[in-house]
């Protein structure tokens, strides 16, 4: 008779084909005598990670695969994997070998003892180390983020940003519907969401270097950390995606006004000398500024607001920009038309430009969300 399942391990993956087989082998060695399963949650990796994991599953029935199509993000992948296991205890860890599977039995013993609800591996606890990581800049950044995270969650941990943790699945499922699933730090999301205080076991970890491939913590990771904090504080009042879109739109206003000022200062007098109407320089400047700001907004929204649906490659980016420009065309016409009308009525150019921007922003968000990134 098969022993009852004790532990589910979730491996969120993206382009980890070269790492996943070795990680499963290490899990098998570390978890001798423990009934376990591993769930590889892959965000449709172009390197064939899901295919490699399925091949492993044919060899070992303890290996399961969830291939997500049209969805991306480490936190949401971890939530999906944790909710998919039937084990009473679930762990989340990286597939790139930076997290040592040998810590799992001790973490499991702590949770199964009933004394703890959650166990996690800390890079900064006494006895831990990050020397093998070889990234002192990220160690320093993680320390700063940890201090902020402790303030947000109200829980004093040495490493609340850790991506290696374990908890009872009933604790997870009780609040899974309230988790934001935003960004990379699912442990922080859990700590900030659960209402009842968790009994937490801290385990020191020697944080290793990645075995193969490139780190997924790209230039947007700090931004996504801040987004996660915003979502916990204000996400129920102003939806996070809309707030991001609006924030980038605000930056676009700065770009817009800078371009407009440049054109008016550089070419305004020439338009008057050549006997064009007074507002001609403004029409040219407003149009040029709107196009430049629209391009700026597309790039940042693609990288940040819609990072889970990020367009990649020259062709998709150009097609996405074209759709973005098309869906924003009505807003652009309203922008230019309203601003120009106000200037003709005697309003100053800059307030008129801002009114035009506000009128066009509603179309920009609603239509681009639907037709450019498909996330309405």
CATH, residue 49: 3.90.550.10
Dihedral sign from CA coordinates of 77, 79, 80, 85? positive
Nearest to 128 by CA among 155, 100, 156: 100
Same domain, 329 and 349: yes
Domain that holds residue 356: 240-371
Number of domains, the chain:
2
Question: Looking at the domain assignment, is residue 2 inside a domain?
Answer: no
Same domain, 167 and 273: no
Q: Could you report the average pLDDT of every consecutive run of 10 residues in the chain (376 residues)?
A: 88 93 95 96 93 96 93 86 95 92 96 94 80 57 61 70 90 85 75 83 81 53 62 66 82 90 73 56 83 90 81 88 85 82 87 83 78 73
Question: Looking at the domain assignment, is residue 53 inside a domain?
Answer: yes
Per-residue pLDDT, 376: 45
Per-residue pLDDT, 111: 96
Per-residue pLDDT, 128: 75
Collapsed DSSP state (helix, strand, coil) of residue 363: helix
Q: What secondary structure letter does DSSP report for 299?
A: H
Same domain, 257 and 202: no
Per-residue pLDDT, 272: 47
Do the beta carbons of residue 289 and residue 274 sit within 8 Å? no
Per-residue pLDDT, 362: 74
Do the beta carbons of residue 121 and residue 164 sit within 8 Å? yes
Per-residue pLDDT, 273: 47
- Largest distance between two CA atoms of the chain: 94
- What does DSSP say about strands 118-122 and 165-168: parallel, antiparallel, or unpaired? antiparallel
């Amino acid at each position: 008779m098969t022993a009852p399942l004790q532990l589910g391990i979730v491996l969120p993956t993206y382009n980890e084909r070269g790492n996943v087989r070795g990680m499963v082998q290490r899990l098998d060695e570390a978890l001798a005598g423990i009934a376990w399963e591993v769930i590889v949650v892959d965000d449709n990796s172009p390197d064939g990670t899901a295919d490699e994991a399925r091949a492993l599953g044919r060899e070992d029935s303890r290996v399961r695969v969830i291939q997500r199509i049209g969805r991306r993000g480490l936190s949401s992948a971890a939530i999906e994997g944790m909710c998919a296991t039937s084990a009473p205890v679930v762990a989340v860890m990286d597939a790139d070998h930076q997290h040592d599977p040998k810590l799992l039995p001790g973490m499991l013993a702590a949770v199964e003892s009933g004394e703890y609800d959650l166990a996690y591996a800390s890079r900064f606890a006494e006895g831990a180390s990050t020397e093998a990581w070889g990234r002192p800049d990220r160690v320093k950044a993680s320390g700063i983020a940890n201090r902020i995270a402790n303030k947000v969650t109200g829980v004093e941990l040495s490493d609340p940003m850790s991506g290696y943790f374990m908890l009872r699945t009933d604790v997870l499922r009780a609040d899974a519907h309230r988790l934001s699933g935003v960004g990379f730090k699912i442990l922080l999301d859990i700590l900030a969401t659960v209402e009842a205080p968790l009994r937490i076991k801290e385990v020191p970890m020697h944080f290793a270097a990645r075995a193969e491939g490139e780190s997924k913590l790209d230039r947007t990771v700090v931004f996504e950390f801040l987004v996660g904090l915003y979502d916990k504080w204000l996400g129920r009042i102003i939806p996070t995606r809309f707030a991001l879109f609006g924030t980038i739109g605000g930056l676009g206003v700065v770009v817009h006004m800078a371009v407009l000022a440049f054109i008016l200062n550089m070419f305004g007098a020439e338009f008057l000398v050549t006997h064009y109407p007074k507002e001609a320089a403004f029409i040219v400047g407003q149009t040029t500024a709107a196009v430049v700001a629209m391009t700026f907004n597309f790039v940042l929204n693609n990288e940040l607001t819609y990072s889970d649906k990020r367009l990649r490659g020259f062709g998709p980016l150009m097609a996405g920009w074209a759709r973005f420009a098309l869906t924003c065309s009505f807003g652009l016409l309203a922008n230019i038309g309203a601003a120009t009308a106000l200037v003709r009525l005697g309003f100053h150019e800059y307030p008129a430009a801002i009114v035009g921007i506000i009128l066009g922003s509603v179309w920009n968000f609603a239509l681009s969300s639907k037709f450019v990134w498909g996330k309405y």
